[in-house]
Structure 1
Amino acid sequence: MLTPVALGPENRTQALSAMAEGELDILVIGAGVVGAGAALDAASRGLRVGLVEARDYASGTSSRSSKLVHGGLRYLKQLEFPLVFEALRERALILHTLAPHLARPVPFLFPLQRAGIDRLWAGAGIGVYDMLGAGKGVPGHHRHLGKKKTLKLFRGGKEGAIKGGVLFYEGQLDDARHTMMLSRTAASYGALCANSTRVVGFLRDGGKVVGAQVCDLETGSLIDIRARHVVNAAGAWTDEIQNMLGGKGKLKVHASKGVHIVVPRDRIPSGVGLITETEKSLLFIIPCPWSDDFWIIGTTDTTWNLDLAHPAASSKDIDYILREVNSLLKRPLSRDDIVGVFAGLRPLLAGESDDSSTLSREHAVVSPSPGLTIVAGGKYTTYRVMAKDAIDAATTDFGTPVEPSRTELVPLVGAENFEQMWAARARLAASAGITVERMEHLLRRYGSAVIEILGLIAENPELAHPLPGGERYLSAEIVYAVEFEGALHLDDILARRTRLSIETADRGKAAADAAAELVASRLGWDQVATKREVEHYTARVDAEIESQRQPDDHTADAARLGAPDVRVSVATTK
């Protein structure tokens, strides 16, 4: 059995030191889902691997998706059958082999608003979808429902708007935790992982890329990392990294903004999620994968040409989502129902069309310069295929045989023995002195790695208490985020290791002081640094809320940029 490596602060320091010595086989830039997947793919082949990330694991697109692992039902309309088939195969792997502790199948309803024509095309499309996905991860085939049965399942539906439905299954997961666990699994196979490490330039030997110069944003130090090959998996930042080479790159990435809102579960009475199509995008009402208390509703699909690190949701985006979802609801939602909002960027491969909804969701792997491979495009569900293709391409010039990819057989940290521990959850809860419901929450977030959480509690029983201001989480989970999961700042903890930033009306501000105090000594914060972390988090939340009141992208972007990134401020104050 794999022994998990703890991604604590000491591990990061050691990883940076090791990357500065000798030569890596592969250096991966970007710890989103594709970069983390590429690091795991290469490390599990026995290669010496480094993974660097300018901000935090999953801090970009990979923590701001629709939280689904799916085949892409709408891609059938574009006749992209191979893409759908590939995604459905990967969905099955994620659900049953790679991350059963983080992902699970959930029922969804496709509502019919025109009984005849909608049933004909939706039924045909979902039927093909089922056929392509036969035996690939979900518990049953689709079913056609009449109006009465549809409204019995979707009790909050508007009777005049819904004429029937088609019931089918998709997969869901907490994307930020999944990507972080990919990184941790890569580290457990020997990858050297460092967040808060920004690439500032490439190392060159003649015309060949032989590594990268990075800045440790926690100290301001510059470090040269040499590697036989560099893989750029920077997602929406692909063009920015590509431009460091000078000259024209081989790929052009178009950033498409997707906005979601989070509302309490009781605002929409329903036993199933919902997926339908609007004029501009898909509309999802998704059961929250980490808590049964919320729905996630989205999304938009619009071009974004502003700040990549902090895409802002505008009032226009929120109004669009509310308008579309309310057309189907008996009791309309209002802004007062919203407890969280998040916006992410899809890195699409640019084509001749300016309409982001028509750009390719397929991925591409290119080498614009010897020693450098770029992987871009794609979708979250197919990250493993993208990672495999990138490492296959990167190792073609090694001159010696390299082991083939084996990640389809590599479960993530927490996956092994998860089913057995889930079956024993009542006993585990009793031995830990917590409720069964709390143990279920922990198992869905950590899988069999919950043993590490319980170890922290055994050492300090005070950590079994709920976090003040964020009672859905134990104090132990806040400490664990730092000692085992690589969190370096309060923002990392409240926005990605937990989801307090989008599941509480105050966006996690009430928990900020207590969380900061729990980890201050572990991160070497004095009172000044601790206060700065809380102030930064509060400013970030206030800026996001203000941006969501703005009428358009430009004003929303300006409001969001009122709170600078904590990593920039840390590096410049040292």
Structure 2
Amino acid sequence: MSVSGAASRLTPATRRASLDALRASVTEPLDVLVVGGGVTGAGITLDAVSRGLTTAVVEGQDWASGTSSRSSKLVHGGLRYLQMLDFHLVKEALTERDLLINKLAPHLVKPVSFLYPLEHKVWERAYVGAGVALYDGLATLAPGKRAMPWHRHLTRTGMEKLFPDLRHDAAVGALRYWDASVDDARLVLTLVRTAAEYGAHAATRTQVVELTTSPSGRVDGAVLEDLETGERFPVKARHVINATGVWTEETEALAGSDGGLRVLASKGIHIVVPRERIRGSVGLILQTEKSVLFVIPWSRYWVIGTTDTPWEQELTHPVATAADIDYVLDHANAVLADPLTRDDIIGTWAGLRPLLQPGTKEGTNSAKVSREHTVASPTPGLTVIAGGKLTTYRVMAEDAVDFALGAEARTRPSVTAQTPLLGAVGLDAQRNWARRHARTYGWDRAMLDHLFHRYGSLVGDLVALCEAQPDLAKPLEHAPAYLRAEIAYAVDAEGVLHLEDLLLHRTRLNYEVRDRGLAALEEISRIAADRLGWDESRRIDEVASYTARAEAEAAAELEPDDASAERTRLAAADVAPLKPLGR
């Protein structure tokens, strides 16, 4: 089947059809039910359905609403693992990085170079240079053409040409090496849509509130709650796969078993500053006493992070505190010639890493363990996967489905290494029309790059919208980095149910403009209301809900610690609250 995008469109109507298919599973069980709509769950869904298995995925919030929209947005091998001598893991991640760039998602994943500043002329250059050379060498072992240039040694003069705002006394030179960046939320959405194109059923705002078992004690399905309506109904599946990240233990507990994986949440935050505020054309990677700090060039701004601190609050709404922000500023300013202040920050985000703890709980039947992730079965019929990283989502998905199928996997092998994602097929042909689109609609080079990076060959879908309704070709008045057509397309094809879905995950306005997108709400909400059939009362409620969320997040950033920041953030109610499950 060619992936054209037509069957992949996610709308309120396709969500209802997916829920109908889930209800029908009571008489004709699914092969696989995936719980969790982050990058791991989305990858598992694509892996399973592309093997010819009837598959559904449910997510209690929006796609990528947890960890998978709050990462460092890097696709990388992980230089730090070389320090641990974990060569296999680095090679695996570099292989996946290059596969994404060369074949699976060349529109979404883009090369980005970093400077590794050196403080000592001789021994550090030799030591770090040997490590980066090994990093590049492991990438060369990956099948197919090499996706990245080789690293280079730079003198202080060469370093300062690439990054003039690096403090003169911060380094005597640098190594320049290449990795890749990705819009993490769009990667997840694209995985889900690609899976839908191949026949997967997909539903957001749909929470698993029970796991059901057969008389023999095997997990044979779940009870779902449609958080939009409050309806509960059962579903049946031969295999249930739990890919809920930091919610892993809560979901495991629904099976009534003491077995499973142990997962702790660790918070990482990032700050966003305007691109013109720091003079530099490449990124930086810096070692701190607690974590690795990246200064990443991204579109019209810089992303700087991250932290690594235990999180003991509720799992849905982690936020950056004043202490977190000060930590990132202090470490960035240690190497910047013109120090940043809080006034320079236009946005922040905080995410929770699911840190897999050693071993499995008593009662777990079996487990497949890698350095980064583990797949286990706490009870027959239920497969649990936790740990891992965004870069290796495809390997994790393959492991999870192989593990769930057991011997059946030999006759149904994974094909995702040969399955381009939506927007990858026909990319070059669509690019050949770019100049015509630019002339017709007045789009400059920056806008075209923006569109192709987000949609790939599906840019043609946006052009069709503009042909039918010319005013959609115009930028949003108060968020001109985005076209009105992008809002319309998100509503028409990308599974939007609420206004916050547009601001948080279909665009990045929540953290890439200083007011979190509030000035653009009127225009965005009217486009959404027109296409979703909202009346004026519903539109006003959606605007009020997002406004309250944005204001609560901004207030939480001023709090000194996690507990007080959480109280401040939770003052804003959720549009479709998750049901508490307990651990």
Give the TM-score, by structure 2 length: 0.93
Aligned equivalent of 2:102: 96
Residue 218 in structure 1 maps to residue 247 in structure 2? no
- CA deviation vs aligned residue, 1:383-419 (integer Å, no higher than 9, x gap): 0000000011111276x96421000111111011213
Aligned equivalent of 2:366: none
Could you tell me how far apart the structure 1 residues matched to 2:481 and 2:418 are? 33
Deviation at 1:476, TM superposition (A): 1.0
What is the percentage of aligned positions where both structures have the same residue? 49
- CA deviation vs aligned residue, 1:309-342 (integer Å, no higher than 9, x gap): 1111111110000000000000000011101100
Residue 558 in structure 1 maps to residue 561 in structure 2? no
Amino acid at match of 2:428: E
Could you tell me how far apart the structure 1 residues matched to 2:307 and 2:19 are? 38
2:211 corresponds, among 202, 205, 214, to 202
Could you tell me how far apart the structure 1 residues matched to 2:449 and 2:372 are? 36
Amino acid at match of 1:191: A
Q: Flag structure 2 segments of 5+ consecutive residues without an equivalent.
A: 360-369
User: 5 Å matches for 1:353-372?
Assistant: 362-372=372-382
- Which sits farther off after the overlay, 339-348 or 438-447? 438-447
Aligned equivalent of 1:124: 130
User: 5 Å matches for 1:91-490?
Assistant: 91-134=97-140, 136=142, 137-206=146-215, 207-288=217-298, 291=299, 293-351=300-358, 362-396=372-406, 402-432=411-441, 434-490=443-499
- CA deviation vs aligned residue, 1:190-212 (integer Å, no higher than 9, x gap): 00000110110112112111111
Residue 52 in structure 1 maps to residue 55 in structure 2? no
Aligned equivalent of 2:74: 68
Amino acid at match of 2:83: K
Q: Flag structure 1 segments of 5+ consecutive residues without an equivalent.
A: 353-359
Deviation at 1:523, TM superposition (A): 2.5
State whether residues 57 and 180 of structure 1, in contact with CA within 8 Å, keep that contact through their aligned partners in structure 2: yes
Could you tell me how far apart the structure 1 residues matched to 2:147 and 2:288 are? 26
Tell me the secondary structure at the aligned position of residue 399 of structure 2: helix
State whether residues 257 and 300 of structure 1, in contact with CA within 8 Å, keep that contact through their aligned partners in structure 2: yes
Deviation at 1:135, TM superposition (A): 6.1
Could you tell me how far apart the structure 1 residues matched to 2:496 and 2:73 are? 21
Deviation at 1:422, TM superposition (A): 2.5
Could you tell me how far apart the structure 2 residues matched to 1:94 and 1:29 are? 24
- CA deviation vs aligned residue, 1:356-382 (integer Å, no higher than 9, x gap): xxxx96100001111110011001000
Amino acid at match of 2:11: G
Aligned equivalent of 1:34: 40
Tell me the secondary structure at the aligned position of residue 170 of structure 2: coil
Tell me the secondary structure at the aligned position of residue 223 of structure 1: strand
Residues 530 and 56 (structure 1), Cα distance of their counterparts in 2 relative to 1, 3 Å cut: same
- Which sits farther off after the overlay, 145-154 or 273-282? 145-154
- Which sits farther off after the overlay, 85-94 or 119-128? 119-128
State whether residues 196 and 567 of structure 1, in contact with CA within 8 Å, keep that contact through their aligned partners in structure 2: yes
Could you tell me how far apart the structure 2 residues matched to 1:72 and 1:20 are? 43
State whether residues 257 and 379 of structure 2, in contact with CA within 8 Å, keep that contact through their aligned partners in structure 1: no
Aligned equivalent of 1:11: 14
Tell me the secondary structure at the aligned position of residue 310 of structure 1: coil
State whether residues 285 and 298 of structure 1, in contact with CA within 8 Å, keep that contact through their aligned partners in structure 2: yes
Could you tell me how far apart the structure 1 residues matched to 2:432 and 2:99 are? 21
2:529 corresponds, among 508, 512, 520, to 520
Tell me the secondary structure at the aligned position of residue 378 of structure 2: strand
Q: Say what the alpha-carbon RMSD is for the aligned residues.
A: 1.8
Could you tell me how far apart the structure 1 residues matched to 2:371 and 2:318 are? 20
- Which sits farther off after the overlay, 406-415 or 218-227? 218-227
Could you tell me how far apart the structure 1 residues matched to 2:23 and 2:380 are? 21
Residues 48 and 247 (structure 1), Cα distance of their counterparts in 2 relative to 1, 3 Å cut: closer
Deviation at 1:423, TM superposition (A): 4.1
State whether residues 39 and 390 of structure 2, in contact with CA within 8 Å, keep that contact through their aligned partners in structure 1: yes
- CA deviation vs aligned residue, 1:175-195 (integer Å, no higher than 9, x gap): 000110000000001000001
Deviation at 1:427, TM superposition (A): 2.2
Amino acid at match of 2:358: G
Could you tell me how far apart the structure 1 residues matched to 2:356 and 2:426 are? 39
- CA deviation vs aligned residue, 1:92-112 (integer Å, no higher than 9, x gap): 011111110111111111011
State whether residues 138 and 169 of structure 1, in contact with CA within 8 Å, keep that contact through their aligned partners in structure 2: no
State whether residues 430 and 457 of structure 2, in contact with CA within 8 Å, keep that contact through their aligned partners in structure 1: yes
State whether residues 432 and 454 of structure 1, in contact with CA within 8 Å, keep that contact through their aligned partners in structure 2: no
State whether residues 263 and 356 of structure 2, in contact with CA within 8 Å, keep that contact through their aligned partners in structure 1: yes
- CA deviation vs aligned residue, 1:124-174 (integer Å, no higher than 9, x gap): 211211111126553311111111111121110000111110011001110
State whether residues 422 and 440 of structure 1, in contact with CA within 8 Å, keep that contact through their aligned partners in structure 2: no
Could you tell me how far apart the structure 1 residues matched to 2:534 and 2:411 are? 44
Could you tell me how far apart the structure 2 residues matched to 1:276 and 1:424 are? 41
- CA deviation vs aligned residue, 1:11-60 (integer Å, no higher than 9, x gap): 11101101110311000000100100000001111110001000011111
Aligned equivalent of 2:23: 20
Deviation at 1:247, TM superposition (A): 3.8
